[in-house]
Structure 1
């Protein structure tokens, strides 16, 4: 816990959403269960194991002290999320959370919801991936698989994409995605398909081929996607949707599955894809074991 307090002394607060403390990277002994995120104007503290109330009080005091150093007497808004044993409990410890709550990232705005459920509407660890898509989408047709709230789509359109097709089983997430597009001035240019990807190849093929495909699936979500068996199914079909020399971003956020797992899946199922590079994660997400961190691999369709 003392390492958390010490690390907070180097924390600053900018105008954009970002992770401030990443204990899960294993760089702070005894703090591997802790993360601190900044969704302006709210701080979100998360514990991934059971902790006692006196520990919560200690962490709250550390955060409060640093807040006063940075913001003086401005009101602190602090949310605590406790994840343990498959259960998620979220509590507002201090202040309030705006409703609706919008945050900025790289020139775009996104709606988030810190008090509802485990996911908040914007995965901060994918910031570099979204930035890459923004930089490489000009005049391209983009397919956003497992689109969630469509952060990649917004960035693609900001980067000048001709069209984006978003598909996700969760119509609720896609509804927020539509709002994110309107929030950023995109009333057209994107499609939203609330379907099971594995049952929608015909529809996806109809709208293709695509110059850029992003696949950012959940790693272990029953009824949707389980990486150990479903990545192979996905990779068998993706090359047929990709334009010649088109780009493919494959994402995997499963600590138990290493980079070699994903590369082997591609080699076995999609030999027409050529590995280009691995995108670096934001610096705050540094992990002493890179295989446990978020993996974002870029492939390209080989010319025939």
Structure 2
């Protein structure tokens, strides 16, 4: 745990955007592989993938309190922090000090998002996807008026930045109504009143609807790596990719995402070569520096492909 405590002690300024400060899962701090520390202003979130003893939690709390006394925006601003103990499918969340705003709105590169730290496994905004959202905003700026399909949309963060960049329309598909409702609120937070649609459907049962609304200039696929009864990457990703040639306009782009340590970039390359050979690989996006990993092939994969038809 010492590497985490040293990181806390070295913080000199507070990030203004939601950010990761310590990424033990990247394997660069031996003995801390189960730990991460994020700041969703004004709340710190400590996450552990294994149980922590009360004395360990106390040490983290003391370290945060000592640093907060030096860097808090105002002398009377309280320290707010939560602890999440989780595995891949469940979590328990515990408020350790202070409180959490309701609603809790954070920013990233000028875009505002609702998050919900005290409840559930995920928080409404995946911090490791920041470079993916930056790429989508830049793509939309360069392809103004583009039509975007956002599959497994969750809380529609990709949709918000696409519309901010200049996309004309975004169709957001997700089988969960709750996250889509938060997605609509995210658009409202950013004064994005037009252009987005929110469709709570099982993607695999909706190809007719999806295809009829195309072709698309950009298709975003960001499925869970494993979700029982919904999506299993090694079985279901191929079913998605084989649809891409019919979904994409000439020169259209696909952003394929996968956060499964057991699959490297070659997994997606092979699927595209096999199921959608008309697509050409463009680049793998770098993950945020704060998510550095000792084995990059295990880290989040965000891959860009282009439908043949031009430069």
TM-score range relative to shorter protein: over 0.9
- Tell me which residue corresponds to 1:203: 209
Q: Please list, as runs of the form range in 1=range in 2, the aligned pairs for 1:185-264 lying within 5 A after superposition.
A: 185-264=191-270
What is the count of residue pairs matched by the alignment?
A: 304
Report the alpha carbon displacement of residue 57 of structure 1 after superposing the two structures with TM: 1.1
Kindly indicate whether residue 86 of structure 2 is the aligned counterpart of residue 80 of structure 1.
Answer: no
Pairing 1:68-217 to 2, within 5 Å after superposition: 68-71=69-72, 72-84=75-87, 86-137=89-140, 138-217=144-223
Does 2-11 or 25-34 show the bigger shift?
2-11
- Report the Cα offset of residue 47 of structure 1: 0.5
Structure 2 length as normaliser, TM-score? 0.95
Q: Distance in 2 between matches of 1:121 and 1:251?
A: 17
Aligned residue in 2 for 1:9: 9
User: Gapped runs of 5+ residues in structure 2?
Assistant: none
Alpha-carbon distance between aligned partners in 1 of 2:76 and 2:62, rounded to the nearest angstrom = 15
Secondary structure of the residue that 1:203 maps to in structure 2? helix
Which secondary structure does the structure 2 equivalent of 1:19 belong to?
strand
How far residue 266 of structure 1 moved from its aligned partner, in angstroms, is 1.1
Report if the CA contact (8 A) 2:89-2:121 is conserved: no
Cα displacement string for residues 139-179 of structure 1 (whole angstroms, at most 9, x for unaligned residues): 21111110000000000000010110100000111000011
**Aligned pair 1:265/2:266, yes or no?**
no
Could you list the per-position Cα deviations for residues 213-255 of structure 1 after superposition, in whole angstroms to 9, with x for gaps in the alignment? 1100000001211100000111111221001111110000001
User: Contact 1:50 / 1:84 at 8 angstroms: preserved in 2?
Assistant: no
CA distance in 2, matches of 1:292, 1:202: 34
Distance 1:110 1:245, change over 3 A: same
Query: Where in structure 2 are the equivalents of 1:19-58 lying within 5 Å?
Result: 19-58=20-59
Query: How many Å separate the matches in 1 of 2:41 and 2:92?
Result: 21
Distance 1:56 1:297, change over 3 A: same
Matches of 1:73 and 1:36, distance apart in 2: 23
Between 1:6-15 and 1:157-166, the stretch displaced more is 6-15
Question: Relative to structure 1, is the Cα distance of residues 301 and 36 closer, same or farther in structure 2, using a 3 angstrom cutoff?
Answer: same
Provide TM-score, normalisation by structure 1.
Answer: 0.97
How far apart are the structure 1 equivalents of 2:90 and 2:271? 32
Q: Write out the 4+ residue segments of structure 1 that deviate beyond 6 Å after TM superposition.
A: none
Kindly state the Cα deviation for residue 55 of structure 1 after the two structures are TM-superposed: 1.0
* Deviation at residue 73 of structure 1 after TM alignment: 4.9
Contact 1:273 1:301 in 2 (8 A): yes
For the residues of structure 2 that align with 1:111 and 1:73, how far apart are their CA atoms? 25
